[in-house]
Structure 1
Amino acid sequence: MQQFDYDEVLDLILAKDDRYPREAYHFVREGLDYTQHSMAKMSGAKEPRHVSGQELTDGMRQFALETYGPMARMLLNEWGIHSTTDLGEIVFNLVENNLLAKTDKDTLEDFAGGFDFDEAFTVPYLPSAKPEKKSTKSSRAKRSK
């Protein structure tokens, strides 16, 4: 088996396709590891298995929220990731350069429409309800004492 340096291969990818910075590729790689280990743990499997594009986008969503919290959307946007299609583009750049593997059934279209970024990364951090106003009676009672 041929030895390779992950960062050297990333240099080659970035020279051919500069849409996404190095950090985006590291995020996808870490998101894949997170997804595979989470799924193995849930199923009781000892070894990680191949995940579909839909499973991977959902896992990367969870990974981003757990890792970056309310900053996830901003960081992903900074890295050029604005949709699940961008995640797929990065995955397939890694596949084409033998850093990830795919099955014959895996396609870039598997990543299209995975989830809405606003729904996933903004909505969870919006205030859930308007703060309750203090009743006028209790405010007046406190002032008159």
Structure 2
Amino acid sequence: MNFEKTVENIFSKDSRYKPDAYEFVAAALHFSQKKLKRQGHILGRELLEGLKEFAIEQFGPMAKTVLNHWGIHRTEDVGNIVFNLIEKKFFFRTETDSLDDFKNVYDFESAFSGILENMGKSNPSSGEPAGKKGEKDKKVLQKPPIG
């Protein structure tokens, strides 16, 4: 079964999170692995930090609004999505991984506040003012690779 069909199957049984939420969490996993220069397993906390950064890159000051629209209101929601995908064998876990790894890692309100204010400041990773990067540096949300 492909990713899209798997998500449809999950959604038919658990409609707390929209299908876009699953696609975004999978994309955030790939983003986090690339950022950490790691293939395979990453910790729940690492995924959550990567997801926060990826959401801000993708949606700017609308990040929290978009995530909330998809049903993601707190870090535990990301854990539920991850474990739904683990159950369907799209993500894998180690023996020590648990839903508790996702509990209260950060508060969405504070994690996604002040984005507009920070957009005018320098981008520390590039040394350039935010919003002045070239077109080639823009990130586009894509469906995660399958298999």
Tell me the TM-score normalized by structure 2.
Answer: 0.76
Considering only CA atoms, is the larger Rg found in Structure 1 or Structure 2?
A: 1
Structure 1 gaps of 5+ residues are 41-46, 128-145
Alpha-carbon deviations, 1:61-118, whole Å to 9, x = none?
0110111110101000101100000000000000001110010000000001111111
Q: Distance in 2 between matches of 1:58 and 1:115?
A: 9
Which residue of 2 is the match for residue 116 of structure 1? 107
Which residue of 2 is the match for residue 13 of structure 1? 10
In the TM superposition, 1:31-110 aligns within 5 A as 31-40=28-37, 47-110=38-101
Q: Distance in 1 between matches of 2:39 and 2:60?
A: 25
Q: In the comparison of the two structures, how many residue pairs are matched?
A: 118
- What residue identity is the alignment partner of 2:8? D
- Compute the RMSD of aligned alpha carbons: 1.3
CA contact under 8 A between 2:11 and 2:19: conserved in structure 1? yes
Which residue of 2 is the match for residue 141 of structure 1? none
1:22 aligns with 2:19: yes
- Larger RCO of the pair (alpha carbons < 8 Å, separation 6+): 2
Tell me the TM-score normalized by structure 1.
Answer: 0.77
User: Tell me, what secondary structure is at the counterpart of 2:36?
Assistant: helix
Identity percentage over the alignment? Answer: 40
Q: Distance in 2 between matches of 1:60 and 1:5?
A: 23
Question: How far is the alpha carbon of 1:125 from its aligned partner?
Answer: 2.7
